[in-house]
Amino acid sequence: MTRILTRLFILLHIFASPIFLQAYPNEKWQDCEQITKIAIEKLVSSVDKNDFENLETMLSTIQSACGENEFTQRMRILRALIEKKTTGAIIADYLSKNYQEVLVMRWDYSVENEYQKIYQENKADFNYIPLNHPIDSLVKLKANALLTSTSYNLTEQEKQIALLFSDHLDEFYKSYGSTAPAPTPVTVQVPAPETALEEPIEYSEDYKYRAGVLVSAGVEFPITGTDPLFKSNATIGVMYASPLSSLMVYELGAKIRINSNDRSFDYLLNEVIEHVNSTVSFSLGGNLGVKVFDNDKFIIFPKAGIYYDITGTGLTEYGEGYYYDEYGFEQSSGSIRYNNVNTMRTTLGLSVMRHIDRKKYIGLEFAYHYIPYNWDKNLLTNIQPNYASGQVFLRF
């Protein structure tokens, strides 16, 4: 719980106004990686739209936790270029700190086949921003647009930095009056360079920034009651799943329980007691979870959910109005009304997922469910409300 509260406070800090930052100038943040991860997620959308209103606040937040680095200065220079502000001093500061060599290292290792492994083993060397992150792709696109747009009259110094930001390294060093240095070594055995990634860097995308579909199968069973009406039954589900790049993760969709192992129950319909047996239960709703662990290979998050639950009875009614068809049989011209057991399903669960490839994950989920069936006033048989479930799921 302490860690969850800490992360929620980090989110509050990311969206805090400059007034908040001024009020707490000495605040020290320890979780540099988490703060950077949350901040750059928001930066992607802002930079894509050239919406720089909150840029400095987010960069200051990163800097308060991690110190100034190549990325924070690169973003400030890009903003100044796009907004046609004076850039001489900030570009000179960037070059004097040899940040260009840090960025060249980043561009060089981004095209390695094992770039993900390289990043995982050397996160600090890359300022906790994954190689081939969408923010890098956006910077390249914006810098290249600056070079080709007729709306901008760049100085020689600005052209040099735009060439660097757009990954035109040969042209940058030719203009800069130097030869390209070898990439700064990082502490990992890097295989011999191979061809660049099949997909151009400008269009590469971190798989965590994509929504997915979650398909599940498992079993649900009662955990209270001496002779429960619903016993162990198979379940299946299909859910829309939000991107995994956010701290908060949600799922929306439907789950079905096959009631193949249950007893009959009494249901009151039009003052008549019907003895029925249910074949299936449907649940429509969703879950909201918070990631408590994420090392890219494994993700763990507890979740809570609420669903509209429908247990079928097979009982139907027709509205008023009848007619005879061409064969002389009486037919109803009214609407059909289905009389089912309607209630609410609540869920508390824990999901553990393992990354397989790109968007694909395989995982396990264990959950507790409270289903107050007897909220339905027409249900006469008492049905116990406490259940547990386990399921295997595939996210793709």
Q: Where are the domains of the chain?
A: 2-206, 208-395
The pLDDT tens digits for 346-361 are: 999 999 999 988 789 9
Cα separation, 162 vs 56, whole angstroms: 20
Query: Of the segments 69-73, 245-249, 313-317, which one has the largest average pLDDT value?
Result: 69-73
3-state per-residue secondary structure call for 219-244: EEEECCCCCCCECCEEEEEEEEECCC
Helix (H) or strand (E) holding 285: strand 280-290
* Helix, strand, coil % in the chain, rounded to nearest 5: 35, 30, 35
Residue type, 259: N
At residue 384, the 3 state secondary structure works out as coil
Give the CA angle between residues 298, 303, 307 to the nearest 5°.
135
pLDDT at residue 209, rounded to an integer: 75
pLDDT exceeds 90 at position 6? no
CATH code that applies to domain 208-395: 2.40.160.20
Q: Is the backbone of residue 189 left (phi > 0), alpha (psi -120 to 50) or beta?
A: beta
Q: Which pLDDT band holds residue 19 (cuts at 50, 70, 90)?
A: very low
Contact yes or no for 117/97 (Cβ under 8 A) = no
Q: Residue 273 has what pLDDT?
A: 93
- Indicate the angle between helix axes 156-165 and 99-110, nearest 10 degrees: 30
Cα separation of 254 and 238, whole Å? 6
**Tokens matching residue 387:** 């259940």
Alpha helices in the chain (DSSP H): 2-14, 18-23, 32-48, 55-66, 70-82, 88-96, 99-110, 115-121, 134-148, 156-165, 169-176
Among 301, 194, 174, residue whose Cα is nearest residue 248: 301
Q: Is residue 143 pLDDT above 70, yes or no?
A: yes
Residue-wise pLDDT tens digits, 188-223: 444 444 433 333 333 334 577 788 999 999 999 999
pLDDT of 345 strictly over 60: yes
Residue with token string 């994950």: 361
Comparing C-alpha atoms, which of 28, 65, 190 is closest to residue 121?
A: 190
Which of 141, 147, 149 minimizes the C-alpha distance to 204? 141
Alpha-carbon radius of gyration of the chain = 29
3-state secondary structure of 209: helix
Q: Which of 4-8, 238-242, 303-307, 317-321 has the lowest mean pLDDT?
A: 4-8
Both tokens assigned to 288: 């909201």
**Model confidence at 321, in pLDDT bands (50, 70, 90)?**
low
Mean pLDDT of 275-288: 95
What pLDDT, on the 0 to 100 scale, is given for residue 227?
86
**Interatomic CA distance for residues 164 and 132, integer angstroms:** 16
